[in-house]
A = this chain, B = another copy of it.
């Protein structure tokens, strides 16, 4: 079928081993033969057979990236940043990013991990929130341990560290966490400081760590300001516009006197804003609205959205370097990335 190493070797009048050495570049070869080989490669348009070399070398140059939803900018930005770091990799040449959308399903997560294990991926990066189901957490940890044992680098990006061996031992997998809790706390504290008391909350999907963390931050701020945490002021949704819309409608139905709503993320906040507008409520005069993540569009809504910025790009880039071994894991294996409150025009003091 295709041109093989042997063909190149024949044309360059050397052995296949020499061609292999020239191509991998990790072994001394005389300059004269080297250029001869390279010329033969050019002339024959030889392209290495990836599977064959992966088989012989027992390692591939594939890097798996697991995301919830590729079409969601949150993940697009992270995955894009990871991938950008793979290209310029120094030794070992170009890595290829295999992006897998799990749709938030723990089963699919495991399935993809197996697929990547099958490919002998050089590394896997798991992004975004994890399932809180402990059975799945255990299965996931076991799978990751197996991958890790087989030489695959494992990086968790934007999700909590997974089952450490003990309180002060290093985490088993390199982890980059977002300060979801702290960010949510800052945000709600800011609203409370403005004088808001009747604050509605559109929480993220149930059973996910990110949802739990953001909710915990929200509640902590409420408590710190002596505001009762009325469960009717919180409704669960997904990270999309429609969920935000529906949730806002429901929240308003339960308490028409709400003066602020914090959404699970910016996308959901868009839906909240739309619901408010449809009911003739002005933002922020009648109701303040805040998002989370600081996705690119959030500065362009009208009014511009108050939100919590997460360093998505930075996290992805760092995960990429970690995955290629170009950066040392942080001490303890876990690094926390800061969240920053961004006050814009969608929040204001409550009307009286």
Contact = CB atoms under 8 A, between A and B. Distances in A.
Given A71-B76, A101-B84, A150-B2, A117 B47 contact: yes
B118 A47 contact: yes
A22 to B, nearest CB: 16
A335 B55 CA distance: 40
A32 to B, nearest CB: 26
A168 interface: no
A84 B108 CA distance: 12
Contacts of A100: 83, 96-97
Given A70-B79, A94-B115, A1 B150 contact: yes
Given A70-B76, A98-B62, A98-B96, A241 B51 contact: no
Contact of A300 (B101, B115, B150, B270): B270
Contacts of A146: 45
A255 to B, nearest CB: 24
A80 B69 contact: yes
Interface string A108-120: 1001001111111
Interface string A33-73: 00000000000010111111011001010100000011111
A117 to B, nearest CB: 5
A227 interface: no
A302 to B, nearest CB: 3
A83 B273 CA distance: 31
A167 interface: no
A241 B298 CA distance: 12
Nearest to A150: B2
Give the residue among A71, A79, A97, A108 with the most B Cβ atoms within 10 A: A71
Contacts of A55: 49, 51-52, 55
Residue among A73, A100, A274, A297 with most chain B CB within 10 A:
A297
Nearest to A146: B45
A296 interface: yes
Interface string A172-204: 000000000000000000000000000000000
Nearest to A93: B115
Contacts of A54: 50-51
Given A45-B146, A100-B96, A301-B302, A80 B70 contact: yes
B98 A98 contact: yes
Given A76-B72, A270-B297, A301-B302, A99 B83 contact: yes
A140 interface: no
Given A52-B55, A70-B70, 17 more contacts: A50-B118, A51-B120, A62-B119, A70-B83, A71-B77, A71-B79, A71-B80, A75-B76, A76-B76, A80-B101, A97-B99, A97-B100, A99-B99, A267-B296, A297-B300, A297-B301, A302-B302
Interface of A: 1-2, 45, 47-52, 54-55, 58, 60, 62, 69-73, 75-77, 79-81, 83-84, 87, 94, 96-101, 108, 111, 114-120, 146, 150, 241, 267, 270, 273-274, 296-297, 299-302
Considering the complex of A and B, which 3 residue pairs feature the smallest CB-CB distances, nearest first? A302-B302, A51-B54, A71-B80
